Each structure stands twice: as structure tokens, then as C-alpha cells.
Structure 1
Amino acid sequence: MAKQTPRYHAIADDLRLRIDRGELAPGQKLPTEEELTTQYEVSRNTARLALGRLTEEGLIVSAQGRGSFVRERYTPAVWNWSVLESRSAHEANHTAGDQWASLIVENGNTPRQDVSVSIRRPSVEVATQLGLDPATALAVVRERVRYVDDEPYALADSFFPEELVRGTALMLPDDVSAPGGVLASAGLIQVRYEDEITVRMPTRDEMERLALPAATPVAVHRRTGYDKDGKPLRVMITTLPGDRHVIRYDVSAD
């Protein structure tokens, strides 16, 4: 005997189809639980479960006392991480600010960054990547919230060995721009980097700082930059909401 599909699944399927077709547009309010009970002839709990299913799928968001709404859709920022921070890209960049800001401007949007700087002991993992003693070493940490048209799009935290950037512009809570990039502003030349990307659900702090709706995963991009002698110069950790970014790589088949 076939297992019967729960009634709230069918209601969620119907609402999802209406969202996919555009009958329920981004930002549009959904029927209330009471209206759904009448429309589908179900209990209020069944209607609540149907809305909860769509919330878990990231299709709708709920506002206390206001109801449920079709989730707004962001225009994704498209990144080619193969060339970001490359010297050739810096040489081709004639716009004030860093490459991130330049790309946003090229896309017709307005970038903004809130920058804070602190000196503190990094995590064991970051200290190890920087070749520092986790028990004693200090790092200069530049924390940035990056906005596109005043919407928070990403977190970008950079960790530098304190003794390496002491007294440089990287110690100031300002946007740093230099012909060779952020590292070049401190007289440091990055010749290669290693990337690591993980995907997970956000922490509570990340949800608040990025104004993330429920069921929004984030990609965490960790880039460690090295000089010509293999000395680590920086670890940059960028947290990218999954609904706002596309990451591309160009990889040779050789």
C-alpha cells in the first residue's frame, strides 16, 4: 500500500509552483494561515506546516506580526577568483578602491565597505597558516562588511602577522588602495596563493551581520597568500551568502 503524502506537502507544492510561475512575486505576501485553512480546507496546523516547509526551503520569509512573504531575489555578484588579486588585474584596474569595489561599479552598482581593525591572537588554524606560534603571536585583523547598493553582500576578514604590517596603512580602519593591491600598500608582494572553499550554514552572528533569511547557506572562501620565498603574508576569509554570489575559476587542462 502506497504511503499517503501529507496534506501540507501538497499545499507547499502548490504554493511553490505559484512562486516558480511568478504568480506570487518576490516580496509579495502569501495568504495567511487562516486564509490557507479556508482555501485548502485543512486545519491551521496543516497550513502552518506548509508555510514552514517553504521557509525551510528558503522560498519564503516570515516577519513577526506581518505574515509570510516570497523571498526577494538578489542579483548575484559573479567572481572570477582565478584573476582576483592578480597583478595583471591590478594593472588593468583604473578605478579607485580595491578590485572588489571596481567590479561592483562595473556591474552598475554602488559598493561600500565598513572596515574595523584590531590586534589580537588569531585562531590556532589561522596562526598555523600564517606560520605563527598560536600561543604567543599577534595578528592584525581587518574585518570588513561589504555592501552592494546598501545591502550586505559579504564578510571579508584578513589576518596579517602583526610584526609584518606594523606601522603600515593596513593598521588604519580605512579602505586601502594601492597600485599593486592591498598587500603592496605595505610593501609586500604576493606571488602565489592557496584557496580553500567550504560550504556550511551560517552562524548566528553571520546571519545578523548579513541580514540572512532562514535556510541560506554560505560559502567560506579562505585564501592564503605567499611571497616569493614561500612566507605566508595574509589569510583572507570571505563569507559569501549562497543567494548572492557566483564563483568562477579558469583552470588550464595542461
Structure 2
Amino acid sequence: MEDVKYRRIADHLIGAIDRGEYPVGSVLPTLHELMDRFGVARGTARAAVAVLIAQGVATSKQGLGTLVCGTTIPPQKQVPRMLPDGATYPKVVLSGWTAAGPEVAHRFGLDTGSLVVHRVRHHHTGARVTSIDQQWLPRSVATVIEEQTGHDISDRADTPHPDLTPLLRTAGLDPIVATVQLDARLPTRSEADTLGIGEDEPVLVVHRITHGSSGTPVEATTTVSSTGGAAPKFTIPLTG
């Protein structure tokens, strides 16, 4: 009977997560709260939480509790983050700390060489990469996110989520895209290889700066997209 109970508790929590009652970065009820709410033993409550962790929708952080890190809704049923050329939800391929170059430092008003989190995301249409994102966040923002949500965004294994907007919101930063700059140029050799295009085929480049509620820049993203050999269409992608 206890086996049935832990599965029912797990299903209840997963349903609540999928409905958005517990957004990414939020803290799930403690074992004691689950024991009281469902009238079960501690082992049953722990087994229910273990199901969520095993399914990749929650993670356990010492001192913080059990945090939501995803949903069970397939990506095609989520609202797609559309980019030029039909690209859909992105995948994080790199994440780590780096020293900000002059251009990135200027975007954030930091000194050149300041530590920032650098993430690279690929947008796929089928097996083909159609867009490449380079994303930077200041150390102060990464610290706030980790303190408020328990997620280390510099660690791809700890925070694989392509869209950091829910974590920024949970951390109280209320992100708003404040600056968008569009450009077209020829790709670098690395970009051409990743996108599977020739080095003489133009790409669309979108620079975005996202501000927090205080007006301070919290995220900068540069997106390079294949144009399919056609003249670039200046379509502003959604934030994320």
C-alpha cells in the first residue's frame, strides 16, 4: 500500500510542476510537509521525492531543499522560443566562467577581464543547427540566481535549462529585453562549420541586452542565424 502512496504523491507533485504551480527554481514541500499533508511515513515521502529526481524534474540541494529543475511536458507541447529560419527550443552545449572581453564588458558596464558566465546554445531544426547563441551574465547575477534558486548557471550539468528567464524571474530580477541590434555579415569559419553553410553565405546577427527591474543589464546574448542563402529578414527573436 505504501508503494502505491509514494507513486500517488510523486504524480501529484509532477502534475503541479507541469501546471506551473511550482515553477523552475522554486522549492518543493519538505519531507515533513509531505508527511503531514498526505499522512504517510518519512520513507514514503522520501521515495516520492526520489521519483521526481530520477525523472529529472527536481534536484536536491543541501541547505535549500528540493528544487524544481524541469517539467515532464515534451518540448513540442511547450510554447516554442522561435528564432529566424524556424529554429525551435535551444540546447546548451557549453557553460562556464570566462574573462569578459572589451565588447562584453562594455555591454555590462564592467571592467575588461571581469568574470562572467558564458553559455553557448544551439537551435536545431531536425538534426541541423540553424542558430547559435552566445550568452553572457555578470558574476553578480549568477550569484543572485544561485543564492535564490540553488542553480549554478555556470555548470551545464547543474543547470541544463536553455531558457534562464524563469530562473531570473524567481531570483527577483524581472528580465526585460531593453536593447536589440540587428546586423548581417559573413560567418566565421567556426560558425559556417556549425551551421553547415559556406563561408560566403551571409548570416543574421542579433545582439540583445536584457535589463533587470533596477535597469541594470543582467544578460547579453548574440544570436547568429543561417539565412538559407536568402537576403536576411530582420526578425527580432523572443527573449530566452
Alignment partners' CA distance in 2, 1:101 and 1:115: 21
Larger Rg belongs to? 1
Q: Structure 1's 110 and 130: CA in aligned 2 closer, same or farther, altered over 3 A?
A: closer
- Structure 1 counterpart of 2:168: 183
- % identical equivalent positions: 21
Q: Is the 8 A contact 1:101 1:112 kept in 2?
A: no
Alignment partners' CA distance in 2, 1:114 and 1:193: 23
CA drift at 1:144 = 1.0
- Structure 1 counterpart of 2:61: none
Q: Structure 1's 149 and 212: CA in aligned 2 closer, same or farther, altered over 3 A?
A: same
TM-score, L = length of structure 1: 0.51
* 1:210 paired residue among 175, 185, 195: 195
Secondary structure in 2 matching 1:158? strand
Runs of 4 or more off by more than 6 Å in structure 1?
Answer: 98-101, 107-110
- Structure 2 counterpart of 1:155: 132
Q: Is the 8 A contact 1:123 1:134 kept in 2?
A: yes
Q: Structure 1's 240 and 149: CA in aligned 2 closer, same or farther, altered over 3 A?
A: same
- Structure 2 counterpart of 1:138: 115
CA drift at 1:246 = 4.4
- Structure 2 counterpart of 1:242: 227
* 2:218 paired residue among 209, 233, 245: 233
Q: Is the 8 A contact 2:96 2:119 kept in 1?
A: yes
Alignment partners' CA distance in 2, 1:98 and 1:164: 30
CA drift at 1:242 = 1.7
Q: Is the 8 A contact 2:118 2:136 kept in 1?
A: yes
Code of the residue aligned with 1:150 in structure 2: it is A
TM-score, L = length of structure 2: 0.54
Q: Structure 1's 164 and 103: CA in aligned 2 closer, same or farther, altered over 3 A?
A: closer
* 1:129 paired residue among 107, 110, 122: 107
Code of the residue aligned with 2:135 in structure 1: it is S
Please list the CA deviations of residues 209-232 of structure 1 after superposition, one character each: whole Å capped at 9, or x if unmatched. Answer: 111134211111000011232211
Code of the residue aligned with 1:223 in structure 2: it is R
- Structure 2 counterpart of 1:171: 154
Q: Is the 8 A contact 1:169 1:176 kept in 2?
A: no
Secondary structure in 2 matching 1:171? coil
Code of the residue aligned with 2:101 in structure 1: it is S
Please list the CA deviations of residues 172-206 of structure 1 after superposition, one character each: whole Å capped at 9, or x if unmatched. Answer: 3112457x545325442123410111111001111
Q: Structure 1's 206 and 116: CA in aligned 2 closer, same or farther, altered over 3 A?
A: same
Alignment partners' CA distance in 2, 1:138 and 1:237: 18
Instruction: Give the paired residue count.
Output: 153
CA drift at 1:248 = 3.2
Alignment partners' CA distance in 2, 1:99 and 1:196: 30
